[in-house]
């Protein structure tokens, strides 16, 4: 039997091991032949160690080393020695030593990889990287992301377990849930023509667990949505799913804040301060145009409706008279932008249905631009102070329907931050956005709908407005936002049967609708439901932020493309006819062309 049991991994040996005999096993990362000697960088998950093959020390090993190619797996026994003056590599933990090899065994050979593992700087198409995912992982960045992911999962469970949460696995062969996205279906063989659905989230199950008296539940849960994928979505994704009974928002927020602090500390050694900022949904939209503002830079939106009314700026006043609004934002130091640069900003907002941007520069000479003429001197000064523009700044003004202004300025705000480097690296700005609206009006049907889902509790202070003015009712629904991304969402749930009926009534759901959509769940809630609330954190998004990547596929071991296919497995694929017959499914498979 070949002895391949390592005494050390490839990332451990330093000067203090000099003189020791060791055995290392790993992959040939690089080979260099130099002055009769052969140098191998041997690689494993823990690092690189330099092996040196000297024909005068062991001619057998040196001979065999001549055959070694990249990515072959070998085991080598040898002596740790100093690399000697001027030959050390300070970038490597093992950079001061090398192994003088006395014995070499090839454990397995490797075909030439389709792209270089050793040279990370070579650009490889993502399709090729996904097809050869097992080689892409070896390259380093993906491996590091997976290590971060593993650490984040461990600290999450350790912390929630220590807080008395029970980890309960809920079914994957489940049933259509009321989330509203498209389910993945699984045909039943025993009952042909019937289907399981993969869960879009464990929402129903976790509420049922509260009815069961489980008190505090968590799960790192796989979730499934058969949607047309955007770049940051996957058909299967992962939620840190939490629910607890007899509690309210504040203690849950504290728990999540502590959890996030521990995750950031344990994975990337970042210190996150708490308590996190909080902002009501309404204020958040007013100030940032979005419910997920990036707070790593300032630059709030300022409403100018009243000020514009007092100006001579007819075009903007027309917007106000037709129900629109006027908001501005100030780019610090933006007065130095050229006319062309400002035109580019105007072009940037156009895809968001904003026809234009008015603008003014404030300099030591006062306000300049072709719209200054519509304002009195006093009004200009009032505007300047209102939008906190000082000399050297640029004021950008948008007027349109409120939702359009908000969306466009939100995008513009983030665009400016990127374009003018306003974001510090390793800055983590958390924000709780609270008190989301309970209902919204569907603009086409003019019907009242749930903003979150119909089991979300109204705000305790707004109970008296549910009948009289439902659209003004706030929900006990909250999101956690980090650096402009929604990383968690949750709510207090309704535990009172009477209140639940009232909400269904406002949503104009008939008893029949309710039974069809939620029958067993509504029934379960009628057997003694405790007050409860919960939250779901998007693990993939959190790992993306920790790993500093915009690509969700970088944080999942075996991800799928935007067409929901796995290029490595070549899945989905044809099924055996026998099995389709058992499922009573007859259809012609469409052809897939794999890269």
SS3 at position 209: helix
Q: Note whether 238 binds a copy of itself by CB under 8 A.
A: yes
User: Largest Cα–Cα distance of the chain, in whole Å?
Assistant: 94
Which residues within the stretch 481-510 sit at the binding site for a copy of itself (CB under 8 A)?
A: 495-497
What are the residues facing 105 on neighbouring strands?
Answer: 75
Query: Residue 123: which of 112, 139, 144, 111 has the closest Cα?
Result: 139
Report which DSSP code applies to 498.
Answer: H
Q: Note whether 93 binds a copy of itself by CB under 8 A.
A: no
Q: Note whether 105 binds a copy of itself by CB under 8 A.
A: no
Q: Which of 141, 187, 366, 392 binds a copy of itself (CB under 8 A)?
A: 187
Considering the complex, state which of residue 87 and residue 107 has its C-beta at the smaller distance from a copy of itself.
Answer: 107
Q: Note whether 572 binds a copy of itself by CB under 8 A.
A: yes
Rounded Cα gap, residues 434 and 490, in angstroms: 10
517 phi and psi angles, rounded to 5 deg: -80, -40
Within its chain, how far is the Cα of 548 from the centroid?
10
Which residues within the stretch 122-151 sit at the binding site for a copy of itself (CB under 8 A)?
A: 132-135, 137-138, 143, 146-147, 149-150
For 155, what's the count of Cα atoms within 13 Å in the CB-facing half-sphere? 19
Which residues within the stretch 436-475 sit at the binding site for a copy of itself (CB under 8 A)?
A: 460-461
Q: Which of 100, 215, 232, 462 binds a copy of itself (CB under 8 A)?
A: 215
Considering the complex, state which of residue 6 and residue 401 has its C-beta at the smaller distance from a copy of itself.
Answer: 6
Q: Note whether 163 binds a copy of itself by CB under 8 A.
A: no
Q: Which of 35, 230, 444, 527 binds a copy of itself (CB under 8 A)?
A: 527
Q: How far is CA 21 from CA 98, 103, 298, 479, 512, in A?
A: 12, 11, 58, 56, 77
Q: Which of 170, 290, 450, 489 binds a copy of itself (CB under 8 A)?
A: 170
Which residues within the stretch 244-283 sit at the binding site for a copy of itself (CB under 8 A)?
A: 246-248, 251
Q: How far is CA 75 from CA 7, 18, 44, 67, in A?
A: 11, 19, 12, 14
Q: How far is CA 530 from CA 246, 426, 452, 466, in A?
A: 6, 41, 20, 22
Q: Note whether 514 binds a copy of itself by CB under 8 A.
A: no
Considering the complex, state which of residue 209 and residue 342 has its C-beta at the smaller distance from a copy of itself.
Answer: 209
SS3 at position 257: helix
Q: Which of 171, 283, 353, 469 binds a copy of itself (CB under 8 A)?
A: 171
Considering the complex, state which of residue 259 and residue 383 has its C-beta at the smaller distance from a copy of itself.
Answer: 259
Q: How far is the CB of 29 from a copy of itself (least distance, A)?
A: 10
Helix (H) or strand (E) holding 383: helix 377-386
Rounded Cα gap, residues 14 and 225, in angstroms: 49
What are the residues facing 456 on neighbouring strands?
Answer: 493
Q: Which of 101, 209, 394, 438 binds a copy of itself (CB under 8 A)?
A: 209
Q: Note whether 71 binds a copy of itself by CB under 8 A.
A: yes
Considering the complex, state which of residue 333 and residue 497 has its C-beta at the smaller distance from a copy of itself.
Answer: 497
Q: How far is the CB of 565 from a copy of itself (least distance, A)?
A: 7
């Amino acid at each position: 039997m070949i002895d391949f049991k390592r005494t050390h991994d490839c990332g451990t040996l330093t000067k203090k091991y000099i003189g020791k005999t060791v055995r290392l096993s790993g992959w040939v990362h690089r080979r260099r032949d130099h002055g009769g000697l052969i140098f191998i960088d041997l690689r494993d998950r823990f690092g690189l160690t330099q092996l040196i093959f000297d024909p005068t020390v062991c001619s057998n090993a040196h001979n065999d080393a001549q055959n070694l190619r990249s990515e072959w797996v070998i085991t080598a026994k040898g002596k740790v020695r100093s690399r000697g003056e001027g030959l050390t590599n300070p970038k490597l933990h093992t950079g001061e030593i090398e192994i003088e090899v006395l014995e070499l065994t090839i454990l397995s050979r490797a075909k030439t990889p389709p792209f270089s593992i050793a040279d990370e700087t070579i650009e490889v198409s993502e399709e090729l990287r996904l097809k050869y995912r097992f080689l892409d992982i070896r390259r380093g960045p993906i491996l590091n992301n997976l290590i971060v992911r593993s650490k984040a999962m461990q600290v999450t469970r350790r912390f929630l377990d220590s807080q008395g949460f029970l980890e309960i696995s809920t079914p994957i062969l489940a049933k259509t849930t009321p989330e509203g996205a498209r389910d993945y279906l699984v045909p039943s063989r025993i009952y042909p023509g019937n289907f399981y659905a993969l869960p879009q989230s464990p929402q129903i199950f976790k509420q049922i667990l509260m009815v069961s008296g489980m008190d505090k539940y968590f799960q790192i849960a796989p979730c499934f949505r058969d949607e047309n994928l955007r770049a940051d979505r996957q058909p299967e994704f992962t939620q840190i799913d939490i629910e607890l009974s007899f509690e309210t928002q504040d203690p849950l927020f504290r728990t999540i804040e502590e959890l996030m602090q521990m995750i950031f500390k344990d994975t990337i050694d970042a210190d996150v301060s708490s308590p996190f900022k909080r902002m009501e949904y309404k204020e958040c939209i007013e100030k940032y145009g979005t419910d997920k503002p990036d707070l790593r830079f300032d630059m709030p939106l300022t409403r100018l409706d009243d000020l514009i009314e007092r100006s001579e700026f007819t075009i903007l006043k027309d917007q106000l008279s037709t129900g629109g609004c006027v908001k501005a934002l100030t780019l610090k130091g933006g007065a130095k932008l050229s006319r062309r640069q400002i035109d580019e900003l105007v072009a940037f907002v156009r895809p968001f249905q904003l026809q234009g941007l008015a603008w003014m520069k404030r300099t030591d000479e006062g306000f300049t631009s072709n719209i200054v003429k519509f304002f009195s001197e006093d009004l200009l000064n009032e505007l300047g102070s209102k939008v906190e523009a000082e000399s050297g700044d640029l004021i950008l003004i948008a007027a349109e329907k409120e939702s359009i202004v908000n969306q466009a300025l939100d995008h513009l705000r983030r665009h400016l931050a990127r374009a003018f480097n306003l974001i510090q690296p390793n800055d983590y700005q958390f924000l709780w956005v609270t008190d989301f609206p309970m209902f919204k009006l569907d603009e086409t049907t003019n019907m009242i709908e749930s903003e979150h889902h119909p089991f979300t509790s109204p705000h305790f202070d707004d109970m008296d407005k549910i009948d009289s003015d439902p659209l003004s009712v706030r929900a006990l629904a909250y999101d956690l936002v980090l650096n402009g991304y929604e990383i968690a969402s949750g709510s207090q749930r309704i535990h009172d049967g009477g209140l639940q009926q009232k909400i269904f009534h406002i949503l104009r759901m008939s008893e029949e609708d309710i039974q069809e959509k939620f029958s067993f769940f509504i029934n379960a809630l009628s057997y003694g439901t405790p007050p409860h609330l919960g939250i779901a954190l998007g693990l993939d998004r959190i790992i993306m932020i920790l790993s500093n990547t915009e690509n969700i596929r970088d944080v999942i071991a075996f991800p799928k493309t935007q067409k929901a296919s796995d290029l490595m497995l070549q899945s989905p694929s044809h099924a055996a006819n026998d099995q389709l017959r058992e499922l009573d499914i007859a259809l012609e498979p469409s052809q897939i062309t794999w890269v």
